Amino acid sequence: MAVGLNEPEKLLPVKGVRLASLAAGIKSSDKDDLVLLELCEGSQSSAVFTKNLFCAAPVIIAKEHLLLSRPRFLLINSGNANAGTGQRGVEAARSSCHLLASHTGLATTEILPFSTGVIGQDLPVEKISKSIPQLVSLLAEDNWLKAARGIMTTDTVLKGISRQVEISDKLITITGIAKGSGMIHPDMATMLAYVATDAGIDNGLLENCLKRCVQRSFNAITVDGDTSTNDACVLVATGKSGVQYKEDDTSFEKFEKVLAEVFEYLAQAIIRDGEGATKFISLNVINALSYDDARSVAYTVAHSPLVKTALFASDPNWGRILAAIGRSGVAFDIDKIEIFLNDVCIVKNGGRAQSYTEDQGQSVMSQDEIMITVDLKQGTESAVVWTCDFSYDYVKINAEYRS
């Protein structure tokens, strides 16, 4: 059960984007597993991908195609990662793009493929081929919810959000969907995310904007410390709102703030739906010498199995947090550091805070959402990382993933 996360009742259409989803038989169930996003001519797209060296075949082809053409279609399958499949997998990803291109009269390089699911199994291209005509016929602007469900694997909740912002009397729409529940850790986190806006954004500005948004969202989450082979995040700007942004536009900051909220929501939704998660944890490291130091401390705590299992047990075993901070590799003055569970100070002057009681710690640890704040008292930099606990169900879900 996802922690404090409900499925959206509605997602707003984005002018210039049409979507479709159907069950092609890639999954063993009869659930939708093939999704298509059509981007109008003139759309600008930017994407970031996993940094895992063992990246999946669709990542290889998508990167290749992005260098050659502007994307017109995003073809996504769930239930099969097409990773660890060698040259056969690369040819399968390329073939899927070619089949869609042939049907729509586009160049193969105008198609970007994406896959998520079980690693090491051959992609059933014949099932994709049979489904393409129907998939194209189902394209519609209001299919965001259906598409969001079609990309899910171990997710228990559909993840999507829409926001609007008014610029110069024109209304800009931003809608995003994501999937991810386990194998979540930067860089890029087995997650896929697709965000579209009807604003027009110059390509260089779009790329920089995506990098900034991802750094503070999808690259600030972790469920289990495992980086997927298939991670991808795509930002699309269709320009259909009539608002066109260039590098020096003063109103872009207002737009990017709303866009960043969409990215942050989707990233947090993945953690709230972490495999077996019962608690949503924010690791807030403040007053560090550098941003990298703050992130290192936050991630060391977030990755600690001992901390994560204590959180699941609602056990105020603050010594585990202290020990994790101490092995982060970041130098700090032990006698100055302070650690809080929500607003309860648990560590001060190098040891247990005199005001702290076990009952206070227990009260916080029993909650579904917890903020762990680490004050290094060294500088002015800070970082936030979102994670979840480790429960019995995390082991069960991953032990039974292929069955």
Residue 41, class by beta-carbon neighbours within 10 Å (0-12 exposed, 13-18 middle, 19+ buried)?
exposed
Q: Under a CB-based contact definition with an 8 Å cutoff, are residues 124 and 88 in contact?
A: no
Average pLDDT over residues 8-34: 96
Q: Taking the CB of residue 230, how many other CB atoms lie within 10 A of it?
A: 25
State how far the Cα of 241 lies from the Cα of 197, in Å rounded to an integer: 9
State how far the Cα of 22 lies from the Cα of 35, in Å rounded to an integer: 7
State how far the Cα of 181 lies from the Cα of 307, in Å rounded to an integer: 19
Give the residue numbers annotated as catalytic, written as ranges. 190
pLDDT of residue 189: 40
pLDDT of residue 188: 39
- Average the pLDDT over each of 136-150, 171-185, 363-377 and give the range with the smallest value: 171-185
Q: Residues for the chain: how many in total?
A: 403
Q: Under a CB-based contact definition with an 8 Å cutoff, are residues 182 and 222 in contact?
A: no
Is 90 exceeded by the pLDDT of residue 208? yes
Residue tagged 């076990």 (tokens): 358
Residue 351, class by beta-carbon neighbours within 10 Å (0-12 exposed, 13-18 middle, 19+ buried)?
exposed
State how far the Cα of 239 lies from the Cα of 22, in Å rounded to an integer: 28
What letters, b where the CB count within 10 A reaches 16 and e where it falls short, cover 61-90? bbeebbeeeebbbbbbbbbbbbbebeeebb
More confident residue, 169 or 146: 146
Average pLDDT over residues 173-189: 72
- For 336-360, what is each residue's pLDDT tens digit? 999 999 999 999 988 899 999 999 9
- CA-atom Rg of the chain in angstroms: 22
Average pLDDT over residues 77-102: 96
pLDDT of residue 401: 55
Instruction: Calculate ∠ Cα 34-22-101, nearest 5°.
Output: 55
Closest CA to 244 of 213, 206, 208: 206
Average pLDDT over residues 301-305: 93
Helix (H, G, I), strand (E, B) or coil at 14: coil
pLDDT of residue 114: 96
Closest CA to 206 of 9, 22, 47: 47
Is 80 exceeded by the pLDDT of residue 292? yes
In Å, how far are 96, 164, 201, 241 from 256, measured between CA atoms? Answer: 34, 12, 11, 16
Is 70 exceeded by the pLDDT of residue 169? yes
pTM, to two decimals: 0.92
Task: Judge: domain 280-399, CATH 3.10.20.340.
Answer: yes
What letters, b where the CB count within 10 A reaches 16 and e where it falls short, cover 368-385? eebbbbbbbebeebbbbb
Average pLDDT over residues 382-403: 80
- For 36-65, what is each residue's pLDDT tens digit? 999 999 999 999 998 777 789 999 999 999
Domain ranges for the chain, please list them. 17-272, 280-399
CATH number of 17-272: 3.60.70.12
